[in-house]
A = this chain, B = another copy of it.
């Protein structure tokens, strides 16, 4: 065992890959002590040899032949930080087939086609670790998979996209509108030129699928996740949340409902007293509820080259230790095989703000519409403004279909001039 060394190949040398390469070099002595054998970087696959990079890759290690690198028979661990579906998927499958263990940060691939990868890892009897795929540096997958393995997780609420949290936080603290806050996020490098993946919730939905799969020992893919982004969130929504002591966050919500799993991503109002409410800027946090442990929260930087590399390296140490001991960690756990609850049947609560005629009978008519749909009302706030009035209704828990149909009927009522804000409410009692 003293003679053994672990050879590592890194696929991709962008913001994460370059930090992985840096840490592998700078922390070599500590890594060797923690793994129990030297960890050696044997190759870095890139698209262009002459692209500008944040770091200097040691002489002779760069290659454009990623397929050739993962096919080498002296590679023990492959780190995939290219991202996207292809060629990442083929490279990971090839690495596993060739007997390497894999560490990846690829949320999109895991959320779309995780089962294929997990089956390949099981067949090859190798590890496939992916802590960096959700919430960057925050250790959340390992705690879910291992620390809570003796408990029953009932709900996961995550702020898992830093871009949207930055934008919503800005709208809350500075009173900005969505476009203005997005522009600031872009100027500061928190949002891409094409911000769709973040702003429309695709990134968060991929993470929700991964979280739900782990938390509930089932297979949940990105297409199972209901998704709404934040581009429709208005300054009025944020103000309305503020008036009821709440704040708007884009949440990834994974819940156990009877024998089924609900997984969804949408903006929601949460009480300011909730621990997630104080997650500011581009930070991420994941709030976990379980039967025995109660309420836990994990907080930290959800993105960035260096934090994400920290998560990759943590996995690398575990995977390398397993290789040395000729064993593997726990693989995919999907024994519970729970079905996904359709969004319409998922229970939630709605906040609805209406401009209505200011005359007697209006409140009764609105309340009747809620009641007709089987939705019970928790609070109503009414403010007269001359000829018209504003009515803010917060419902008790009901199915999303019933709530959605209530809003549709409200929109069709003569006395309702406008529905100015509709948003789900989470993080409190039903």
Question: What residues of chain A have their CB less than 8 Å away from a CB belonging to chain B?
Answer: 19, 23, 27, 30-31, 33-34, 131, 137-139, 142-143, 146-152, 217, 275, 278, 290, 292-301, 304, 306-307, 309-318, 321, 325, 327-328, 330, 333, 335-336
Contact = CB atoms under 8 A, between A and B. Distances in A.
Given A139-B143, A151-B314, A313-B149, A292 B307 contact: yes
Given A19-B292, A27-B150, A296-B298, 17 more contacts: A23-B292, A31-B150, A34-B217, A137-B294, A137-B296, A139-B142, A139-B143, A139-B296, A150-B314, A151-B314, A290-B310, A293-B306, A293-B307, A294-B301, A297-B300, A325-B327, A325-B328
Contact of A313 (B19, B30, B151): B151
A275 B278 CA distance: 8
Contact of A295 (B143, B300, B311, B315): B300
Number of copies: 2
B335 A330 contact: no
Given A299-B275, A306-B292, A313 B150 contact: yes
Nearest to A335: B33
A137 B293 contact: yes
A151 B310 contact: yes
Contacts of A311: 147, 293
A139 B150 contact: no
A149 B317 contact: yes
A144 to B, nearest CB: 9
